[in-house]
Amino acid sequence: MSDVIPMPVGPAGGHVRLGSNAGQSMTRRDGIAKVTGTATYAADNRPDRLLHAVYASASIARGRVTFLDTAAAEAHPGVVMVMTPANRPPLAIHPDEKVGMFGQKIEALQDDGVRYAGQPIALVVAETLEAAAEGARLLAPRYEALPPRIDIDAQPRFEAETVGFGFPAAHAVGDLEAGLAAAARVVERDYVTPAQYHNALEPHAIVAEWQGDRLIIDTPNQAIVMMRGVFAAYFDMPEENLLLRSPYLGGGFGSKAAVWGPQLLVILAAKALGRPVKLALRRDQMFGPVSHRGATRQKLRLGLDAEGRLTALEHRAAAVGSSFENFFEPAGRASENLYATPAMAMSHEGIRIDTGTPGAMRAPGEASGSAALESVMDEAAFELGLDPLEFRLRNYAETDPATGNPFSSKALRECYAQGAARFGWAGRPLQPRQMRDAAGLLTGWGMGTAIFPAPMFQATARAVLRADGSAVVETAAADMGQGAWTSLAQIAADGLGIDVSRLEFRSGSSDLPDAGVAGGSGHTATAGSALFNAGADAVAKLAELATKDPASPLFGAGNAAVVARDGRLMLADDESRGEAYEDILARAGLDLIEGHGKGVRGEAEAQSRAMFSHGAVFAEVKVDPDLGQVRVSRLVGAFAAGRIINPKLADSQLKGGMIWGIGFALQEEAIHDPRTGRPVNADLAGYHVPVNADVPHVEAITVHEDDPFVNTLGVKGVGEIGITGTVGAIANAVWHATGVRVRRFPIHPEDLIG
């Protein structure tokens, strides 16, 4: 076992020494509750006198509601309230104002206008779910409809001011035109990615209950304390009067890190009726008011010298947004930090159509942008007669191309080497359509580079050592399936110098210290740092008690000379001199000792180093030469993401990202009827995502990487990087199998035959 130095940890200055819990493949702490059905998700809460809500969805994409038969709905037995723009109680903030970091204009019955199909146009509350649903149908809305603007390529483009959550829409390094002019060859290609919708197994849901001036909300949320503040702002109430509970989330992918209109309507209804109200979105209602990944049109130009090195790289993206809001998929940003080039330019245009507003969806920008980038890199390699891996190695960036800063760490070469060796890449023929399997299926191999930022947000945590030597730690973390309950507990236990079995981990509630956002692949780094520091603070206070107590064998030693392990403090240079935590507390007459910690990155490190996870994905596909049916038969990914806290959970997350890449490349797309603007595949029968039969073999390799700068734990993130190299790898493998280059995702069988 390694030691833990029990001193509060600052934001910089190299790794702390974690103990025996971190680095272990521990089984998920919440796993048994989930598989046995005892985990309580938001919609499982049933307070006394519960009412049920259903909202009516607009069946047009543009126009206004001219009539709702509220009398018929109100006459239905069981219906207790019909809320429309005419009688909706006021909010303290107009829904078209943006609130908080992830704030967008939302739809909360502020008027009779319709912005997109599926928009909430009324809320019906009833004694039963069936009565609420029937009441919503009885509203029989009539509309004044305008022609929907759905055809992306028919709408005008404009220069976007920002993309994503306020990122610059354009960035350039060096002289692009000079770099292109100096090139021996210019490769220019266009790529298309579709709209994709979050389809977490658990739809958005809320149970809202007012207890006097106190509000209790059960809703799945990825930013629990932050969103408590947003909810409180809409209702002009003190944050401490609002309790947001979110212990279990059945997936989030970015869509559950914000407040949406239907939630506000339920809270208004609960207040007006003086009874708790529950709403759970139907699957089709996930296609509208709770964001999605916007479609893109992307153009890339590569300038290449005679030896196949980049002289220039241009990535222009046209990203689709809603008619009323300014969130645009930051696809061009995917090209900024990966390949060495003296000249680079990234820019974005916006396109407005009549759908709900896009938002953050797993690897926002990087997923769609890397699909195009890794495809054009493969096309360039073929034009040059180079192996795709060799071409990427020739353009390996030793420093960040966008800033010139050194990387905090970068083990991408090792990822290339280990992934290629495991996959057997060395036997790949350069020419396409050269391999068939025993069944006569065309076989192709492709690869893609993976990259994703390693951010940190801000978090706080509390740790309490108890009289019996056990501990409890608290932070409002969100576990949406990534395993935060487990990996964060491992880090916290090491901060306290105890075994994780002696740790009680409390999270998922807004009355706990703020754990920041479970998003951006930064939750483990952020909340984990806060938890470790809180534990180290508690142990440092305990060490101070011992070293000042003449009855302690540690008397006279300074804190720096004391280490913690297995619930004991001992001298670093003489472990025979030590004692158990409970003995120190008992002699001091204390029932507990409390520590506090923060997780935040130092400003100097953030500005002086480029911080990313890296990886390489290798794909094998089988293609039926007559039917064009594509199956991904093998995926091997090698990833370097700093210190891995729980290899089992990291493996799960990396594989999950790669599986999402299969869906992106071959299956996932939202299709809207151009006549009505309505999504025609708003269910899991028509909106295809990979199932077990689509994933015969996926392997994730974690490459060792020490990063002394990214944070003191050395932790990056694994939640999103898996998708970024996979989409291009699969597309490249399809080309290698068939000789047909498809530049529109997802790749359909009809693209490959005829």
The confidence band for 559, taking pLDDT boundaries of 50, 70 and 90, is confident
Among positive and negative, which fits the CA dihedral 165, 169, 174, 176?
Answer: positive
pLDDT for residue 238? 98
Q: What is the pLDDT of residue 16?
A: 81
For residue 172, give both structure tokens.
């350039």
* pLDDT given at position 334: 97
Task: Please report how the helices 647-666 and 721-738 are oriented relative to each other, as an axis angle in degrees rounded to 10.
Answer: 50
Separation between Cα atoms, residue 29 and residue 508, nearest integer Å = 14
- 71-113 per-position pLDDT tens digit: 999 999 999 999 999 999 999 999 999 998 899 999 999 999 9
- Of residues 20 and 144, more confidently modeled: 144
Give 2 or 32, the one with higher predicted confidence.
32
Amino acid 101: pLDDT: 86
Query: What span, in angstroms and rounded, lies between the C-alpha atoms of 497 and 622?
Result: 51
Protein fold of 31-40+457-602:
Aldehyde Oxidoreductase; domain 4 (3.30.365)
Q: How confident is the model at residue 698 (pLDDT cuts 50, 70, 90)?
A: very high
Cα–Cα distance list, 659 to 128, 183, 295, 633, 662 (Å)? 39, 37, 20, 12, 5
The predicted structure's pLDDT at residue 9: 35
Confidence of residue 14 (pLDDT cuts 50, 70, 90): low
The answer to which of 203-207, 561-565, 713-717 has the lowest mean pLDDT is: 561-565
CATH topology of domain 363-455+607-751: Aldehyde Oxidoreductase; domain 4 (3.30.365)
φ, ψ of residue 217 to 5 degrees: the values are: -120, 130
pLDDT > 60? residue 592: yes
Q: What is the pLDDT of residues 224-262, one digit of tens each?
A: 999 999 999 999 999 999 999 999 999 999 999 999 999
Distance CA 109, CA 121 (A): 6
pLDDT at 560: 78
**Which residues sit opposite 124 in a β-bridge?**
54, 82
Phi, psi dihedral angles at 694 (to 5 degrees): -85, -5
Checking DSSP bridges between strand 277-280 and strand 51-57, what pairing results, if any? Answer: parallel
When pLDDT is averaged across residues 725-738 and rounded to a whole number, the result is: 98
> 162: pLDDT confidence band, cut at 50, 70 and 90?
very high
Active site includes 720? Answer: yes
> For residue range 38-81, what is the model confidence (pLDDT) as tens digits?
999 999 999 999 999 999 999 999 999 999 999 999 999 999 99
In the chain, domain spans? 31-40+457-602, 42-147+203-286, 363-455+607-751
Tell me if 31-40+457-602 shares its fold with 42-147+203-286.
Answer: yes
42-147+203-286 has which fold?
Aldehyde Oxidoreductase; domain 4 (3.30.365)
Is the confidence at residue 3, as pLDDT, over 90?
Answer: no
556, 547 Cβ separation under 8 angstroms: yes
Is 60 exceeded by the pLDDT of residue 7? no
Query: What phi, psi does 721 have (nearest 5°)?
Result: -65, -30
pLDDT in tens, 405-436: 999 999 999 999 999 999 999 989 999 999 99
For residues 509 and 498, give the distance between their C-alpha atoms in angstroms, rounded to a whole number.
25
Among 509, 518, 524, 475, CA closest to 246: 509
pLDDT at 10: 35
pLDDT band at residue 602 under the 50/70/90 scheme: confident
- Residue-wise pLDDT for 181-201, tens only, equals 999 999 999 999 999 999 999
Q: Give the 3-state DSSP-derived string for 117-152, with helices as H, strands as E and coil as C.
A: CCCEEEEEEECCHHHHHHHHHHCCCEEEECCCCCCH
Residues 6+ apart with CB under 8 A from 131: 52, 76, 77, 78, 79
pLDDT at 8 over 50: no
Considering 209, 374, 720, 750, which one is annotated as catalytic? Answer: 720
Which band of pLDDT confidence, cut at 50, 70 and 90, is reported for residue 701?
Answer: very high
